[in-house]
Amino acid sequence: MGVLKHKYFLILLILLLGASLRLFNLTKAVPALSQDEIVTGYDSYCLSQNLHDHHGAFLPFIPESFGDWTSPFINYVSMPVAALLGLNDYATRLPVSLLGIASIFLFYVLIKKIFNDQRIALIAAFLLATAPFAISLSRWAVPPSTVPFTMLLFFN
């Protein structure tokens, strides 16, 4: 019963831990953006300014990167951040980190639904919040980094 009394406090602590691990030194832990991150950031910025990507396509359904085509989700979810913070490393990586933090909560909700057990859900959320692969994925602004969030959103 003790865990149930403090469930909101515990999930909040887990989310804060996950947020600190994903946001601390966001632009310095990996010192430079990859070319995929650069095109994501630039397209998001361009879309936030005039609704066209860097190729001049108006609200592209499937944006072109460097001779290949990518998922538009990351570009469109990053638009508000690019509009507010401009074109920089932090604004490019922040949206994916926020999706990673949201994934912790969505995972908690999903596990609670599956097992109908508060303790298991809190342990699962803690494990995802501290998992090195999840932290790393949440600090890299490329389309595959959004997959855990979208899958957890779908399953919930």
Could you tell me the CA-to-CA distances from 111 to 15, 119, 130, 134, 154 in Å, in that order? 15, 10, 16, 17, 14
- The pLDDT score that the predictor gives to residue 5 is 65
- Phi and psi for 88 in degrees, rounded to 5? -160, 170
> Residue 1 above 80 pLDDT?
no
Position 39 confidence tier, pLDDT thresholds 50, 70, 90: very high
For residue range 54-111, what is the model confidence (pLDDT) as tens digits?
A: 888 898 898 887 778 888 999 999 999 999 999 999 999 999 999 999 999 999 999 9
118-130 and 89-115 are packed helices; what angle lies between their axes, rounded to 10 degrees?
Answer: 160
- The pLDDT score that the predictor gives to residue 101 is 98
